[in-house]
Structure 1
Amino acid sequence: MSIDSNIGVPIFKVNRHTYLLLNENIGMTIGQRIRKTRLEIPMTQTELAEKVGIKQPTISELEKGDSAGSAYLPAIAAALGVSALWLQTEKGPKYPIKSITPKELLLITAYREATDEGKTFIEMACASAPKLPGGK
């Protein structure tokens, strides 16, 4: 969390939506946000391009900053599981559903893309997984 001192009193940096901004996200470009999020999942540029329906060099250009933006940003955001507003402007929450993690998103995506047999296997694995106390 970033804190600035103002006459010895710590002041938290917040954006206009009052979400606390982390140092790592302040001043990031669209390309940096795409790359960082893509690597968190993890997903290759080629995999992201295929999900969005564009070519891999387009993703590479965005990540390098060779391209300032794209009409495909909403589709890229959806493929990465992040808010399109956050991806484009860095404002608002990163994840549309605040409680979902990149690993959870990966599992959901794998389930949705699985065959019926694969879905049954995933469901059986989930049913037999040990549960945390309190049902969490």
Structure 2
Amino acid sequence: MDERISKDRYLSNREVDCHEHQNSDMETFGSRVREARKKMKMSQVALASAVGMSQGNLSDIENGHVPTSTYTPSIAAVLGVNALWLAEGRGPKHPNGPALPEPSNVSAGVALSNDERALLSAYRLLPSVDQAELRRIADEKAQRTRDLLSDPRVHELLREIEQRKK
């Protein structure tokens, strides 16, 4: 017996599942995802890639074919919105303040990468004590890097490595 199901049967079952398990916010869940994604000027492909899901799955969410998603917290973090707001339309839209800046409004005209957006969004979800700890760690690592870059011995080593490559 062929275990594959036909496309028609799949679509029919998906329709039934969607209606049986859909809460009243399902359509607004998908529209909130789409709205937040467009506000960040991200394509479906870029957002799907950033959260580790397929573009087709994201499309199904935005079009109301999927009643919920295990990716909701990741999607919310990348898009800089509150996961509860994204999932259910409850609570503030943005955790801890205003939305992330649009890439075109970032200082010095440098757009945030998807990784930087995800990091900033995750940071904003943390309690203030954890935010302070992350800032301390980042400051320590940045200082070590500055110290290394200002060390003349490091520059000499880098020059030697470059010359050996030639």
Shorter-chain TM-score: which interval? 0.5 to 0.7
1:103-131: CA deviations, max 9, x gaps? Answer: 16x84743838xxxxxxxxxxxxxxxxxx
Aligned pairs for 1:46-57 (under 5 A) are 46-57=45-56
Cα distance in 1 for residues equivalent to 2:36 and 2:82: 11
1:58-95: CA deviations, max 9, x gaps? Answer: 00000000111111111111111100010011111101
2:38 is aligned with 1:39: yes
5+ residue gaps, structure 1: 1-26, 114-136
- Work out whether residues 47 and 75 of structure 2, in 8 Å CA contact, stay in contact via their aligned partners in 1: yes
- Work out whether residues 37 and 79 of structure 2, in 8 Å CA contact, stay in contact via their aligned partners in 1: yes
5+ residue gaps, structure 2: 1-24, 118-166
Cα distance in 1 for residues equivalent to 2:37 and 2:116: 19
2:116 is aligned with 1:112: yes
Cα distance in 1 for residues equivalent to 2:60 and 2:47: 13
Kindly report the root-mean-square deviation, in angstroms, between the aligned alpha carbons of the 2 structures: 2.6
Q: Which runs of 4+ in 1 moved over 2 A?
A: 99-102, 106-113
Give me the identity figure in percent.
38
Give the length in aligned residue pairs: 87
TM-score, normalized by length of structure 1? 0.56
TM-score, normalized by length of structure 2? 0.47
Cα distance in 2 for residues equivalent to 1:102 and 1:30: 23
In structure 2, the partner of 1:63 is 62
Amino acid in the other structure paired with 1:61: D
Amino acid in the other structure paired with 1:57: G
Cα distance in 2 for residues equivalent to 1:89 and 1:34: 11
Cα distance in 2 for residues equivalent to 1:34 and 1:112: 19
Quick check: which one's helix share is greater?
Answer: 2
Aligned pairs for 1:54-93 (under 5 A) are 54-93=53-92
Quick check: which one's strand share is greater?
Answer: 1
SS in 2 for 1:66: coil
